[in-house]
Amino acid sequence: MTLEDLYYDDIITTRTYNACKGEGMSTAKDVFEYFKTKGSFRNLRNCGKKSYNELREVCEIFQRNNEESTDVILEEIESNNGMSDILSTTIQEIYESDEISVRTYNVCYYNDLLTIKDIVNYFGKNSGFHLLRNCGLKTRTELHSIYQKAAPFLYQNTNDNINKEFVPTEFNRTEREIATNIIRFEFESLSVRTQNVLNRYLDGNLSFNNIEKNVLLVSNKKLFELDNLGQKSWQELINFKEKIQSLISDLKTVNNDQELMNLKNSYFLKTKFSSILIPEDILNSQSLFKIIHYLINENFFDSSNENFILKHCLQVFVGIPRYNLTEAAEKLNITRERVRQIRETLIDKLVEKFAFVGNIYDRYVLKLREESTDNFLFINNEDVDIINLKNCTNFTAEFILFIIYLSTDDHYKIVGDINDVLLVKDFKRRGCFNWKNFYLLDKDLSHKFKTEKFVEDIEKRINERLNDDYSLIFKSYLSNFVYDSDFTTLERILPFAEFILNREFDLFLDSEDRITFKRNTFKQVYEYSFEALEEIGGPATVSEIYLKVKELYPHYETSEAGIRASMKRKDGFVSVSRTSTFGLKKWEKELLGFKGTR
């Protein structure tokens, strides 16, 4: 049946006839096929409500007269394409239905927001309507109401197709762990509000299985109904969902564990450093050290000053010039204070930039953690040489340990001050302990050991005035700095505390596990005299005492007059006669018949 037949039979009017001809339709079949494809006649030019109903009747007539089309349900087509109808609604139609004011109509018209879809897309890009000219509170409220009604339909068709194709995924343990790690990584990049919405909805369970069941296999329309989900959070949630679906598609193509780890590393690096082109051999190296070495050399900080200060004012690389604040200021042509400010923030920025490393698979770091029999980690020079040679890097021992910490911060806690160790400084800080190294201590154990008080007490004992050596039983002394001083905890902390003693203070335990604090004052003249008299064993003249002192200490410079004066000023000596003969006062009780004159 042609359009002319329909027109002459008064099934369609002249306006409907012209609208169809303008779209290139000439038969009832063309009208029906248009409806099947588009799902509606709303986008047909010059097709009003009356023409829409006429064309709908044409489709019904064609369906009754053609058996091949009887399996097509017109209502189902319209239902499935309801989203298209809603989003294609024009602002003219909205205005005519009294849903918006004249001012809102004008704001939309002059900003090319001619359909509901335009309004929804504008909100998605700009997170609101506040940038629209002449858009007051009332207009924003009206547009926001339109957005609220239409937003769930924006992705409805796409989402339905995805959900029909998307089936529960059977992953092995490794694949599930990788998927869960990436989910957590993407979750942390969401705004706080979106995180809170998801946490409540998922009961805090961010495992892959739970995300798959309650997010990936759920329609967008249902997700839009979540409590407290604002417009910005809605966009974030949709992006989050699409990224996870894309991840699953990639994981399904992987054939072995090696490719799995490469995919995992590549994902985190490309997400975190999208502006840096990282070569495939670096992405697939499974080496944290090689990856970080490349990123630093590619100047991954936005500021050239930050990149320069990182390389030359922190102990990152071996074999490159290191500058103090004054030297760096001259090189960069900025003030010394500005260099200090930048340098002080770099450690925190490194932690933030390299937060991803805990998700990167590195065989060496994994092996180091698994094979460690102690409760702490430290890198010696031999380890440094092996790491740098194997990875073609030139990192310092301090920075290598820092990288390992970032990768294992869920198992270890830093003991020591990173700023003391990594920053290039010209002086020591006053009023606190200056660390030579930092160490990685088991997290649980770190809460039981008062490390700061331990090193402060050791330093205090070393620096106080000591006229004599003294020793302490180390295990007994250490128990003063352990919160839970049971035998097992003390035994676990003991090796680490001794290691700090060796590395930070150059102190070592003796064969009886005692720690000895050495005298740190000069020996005075009277002490030499006292020692000489004890060696002689009885009263002696000043000359005899002087000779004995020189015999015992040939390099000690003194005189007979100095020895005589020291024995007269100090208690513990007595003169025996007027011939400058002296003895020890204690001999009055120890030697029979000995008696001093004073």
List Cα–Cα distances, 399 to 314, 316, 324, 418, in angstroms. Answer: 9, 5, 18, 10
Of 51, 43, 58, the residue nearest 15 (C-alpha): 51
Phi, psi angle pair for 44, to nearest 5°: -75, 125
Contact (Cβ atoms closer than 8 angstroms) between residue 407 and residue 357: yes
Residue 213, SS3?
Answer: helix
DSSP conformation class of 2: B
Classify strands 573-577 and 376-377 as parallel, antiparallel or unpaired.
Answer: unpaired
Can you say how many angstroms the Cα of residue 216 is from the centroid of all Cα atoms in its chain? 26
Sheet holding 573-577, edge to edge: 540-541, 581-584, 573-577
Q: How many CB atoms lie within 10 A of CB 179?
A: 22
pLDDT in tens, 203-217: 988 888 888 888 888
Contact (Cβ atoms closer than 8 angstroms) between residue 439 and residue 378: yes
First-to-last C-alpha distance (Å) of the chain:
145
Say how far apart CA 299 and CA 530 lie, in whole Å. Answer: 68
- pTM of the entire structure? 0.57
Phi, psi angle pair for 469, to nearest 5°: -70, 150
Beta bridge partners of 423: 314
Residues in the chain where the model's pLDDT stays below 50: 69-83, 155-167
Rg for the chain, CA atoms, rounded: 42
DSSP notation for 38-56: HS-STTSTT--HHHHHHHH
Cβ contacts of 519 within 8 Å, gap of 6 or more: 466, 467, 468, 469
Q: Give the pLDDT confidence score for residue 162 in this predicted structure.
A: 43
Say how far apart CA 429 and CA 420 lie, in whole Å. Answer: 9
Angle in degrees, CA 288, 290, 294, rounded to 5: 115
pLDDT in tens, 65-117: 775 544 444 444 444 444 455 677 888 888 887 788 899 999 888 888 888 88
Matching residue, tokens 């940038």: 131
Q: Give the pLDDT confidence score for residue 481 in this predicted structure.
A: 92
Say how far apart CA 513 and CA 158 lie, in whole Å. Answer: 73
Q: Give the pLDDT confidence score for residue 110 in this predicted structure.
A: 86
Can you say how many angstroms the Cα of residue 87 is from the centroid of all Cα atoms in its chain? 41
Q: Give the pLDDT confidence score for residue 151 in this predicted structure.
A: 65
pLDDT in tens, 106-147: 988 888 888 888 888 887 677 678 788 888 888 888 888 887
Contact (Cβ atoms closer than 8 angstroms) between residue 28 and residue 61: yes
pLDDT in tens, 384-438: 999 899 889 999 999 999 988 888 877 889 898 888 888 887 677 777 888 889 8
Q: Give the pLDDT confidence score for residue 474 in this predicted structure.
A: 94
Question: Which helix (DSSP H) or strand (DSSP E) does residue 453 occupy?
Answer: helix 451-463
Say how far apart CA 557 and CA 591 lie, in whole Å. Answer: 31
Question: Which helix (DSSP H) or strand (DSSP E) does residue 558 occupy?
Answer: none
Q: Give the pLDDT confidence score for residue 495 in this predicted structure.
A: 92
